Copies of this chain bind each other. A is one copy, B any other.
């Protein structure tokens, strides 16, 4: 299989991206990796690490965080994002991964690979770690802020297929993010979506409150892009607040510092269990091709994990399976 990687996108690009990609290339010699980006960025990588399964594809333009999506893909046709998505469309790559601007990646993916027939709006689908040591796929977290009930129904189906095929969980538990567990809770969006999801041949466990998400009460959490984005960013914000507060307490006096030093390996393990970087990227589920968004602040480890995820995505034929399920339902 062949995975294209955007060398230009992300807060720590290109250094962290290149480091992560090289680690991945070393781990999986069976995976061809194509690094896409500006000549002066990608060419030196080949000199640094010559491997048969590592190649480059130059793209003269770069998309910025501030670029307006549709405008950007029209004007910067030779940017790494547009080129990477085009490679997937043309079959020159089986997947494309980028840590760049999410809106632009979605627009470029839509423009190049289109949507799976039957899907109106693709969803950004990251996974969250749960306290039980598992994870939960959350979709959508912002690709489509103004969702309609039928979009949520499509997310439920796609999420179920993805978790079943990609994570190997049989009949994954699918929940709907809501402000109460009773069937009639929420706005008209959730009420209508509840009825539509109930009709699907999936394991729908009903409404799930935000408080219970990390308890692992479901494997797939369906939500509109606005609420999902609030959930995602609030989770990051609270986790960050916790670290700030803990650090304050643990450095308060010499005795605390000593105790904290003893706990250091445990605290590290704790931090890593709360860390998005361990959980790879977020697929843009519903696109016609395998296009995966890595977190904007990805470090080398996060990049490495995104490659691992793309491999599974391709191997398990997630897109084909979603198409088949849509045809059946």
Contacts and interface: CB of A to CB of B under 8 A. Distances in A.
A209 interface: yes
A51 interface: no
B255 A234 contact: no
A27 interface: no
Q: Which of A233, A262, A270 has the most CB of B within 10 A?
A: A233
Nearest to A255: B262
Interface residues of A, number: 54
Given A259-B260, A270-B249, A212 B237 contact: yes
Interface stretch (A40-48, A110-118, A224-232): A224-232
A303 B146 CA distance: 39
Nearest to A266: B249
A312 interface: no
A263 interface: yes
A214 B231 contact: no
A250 interface: yes
Contacts of A131: 241, 244-245
Q: Is the interface of A mostly helix, strand, loop or mixed?
A: helix
Interface in A248-292: 249-250, 252, 255-256, 258-260, 262-263, 266-267, 269-270, 273-274
Given A234-B238, A237-B211, A262-B256, A245 B229 contact: no
A241 B129 CA distance: 10
A236 B231 CA distance: 12
Copies in the complex: 2
Interface in A105-153: 130-131, 142, 145-146
Interface of A: 130-131, 142, 145-146, 177, 179, 186-188, 190, 209-215, 225-227, 229-242, 244-246, 249-250, 252, 255-256, 258-260, 262-263, 266-267, 269-270, 273-274
25 contacts: A130-B241, A131-B241, A131-B244, A131-B245, A179-B225, A179-B226, A179-B229, A210-B229, A210-B230, A210-B232, A210-B237, A211-B237, A211-B240, A212-B237, A214-B238, A214-B240, A230-B230, A230-B231, A234-B235, A234-B238, A238-B238, A239-B242, A245-B270, A249-B267, A260-B263
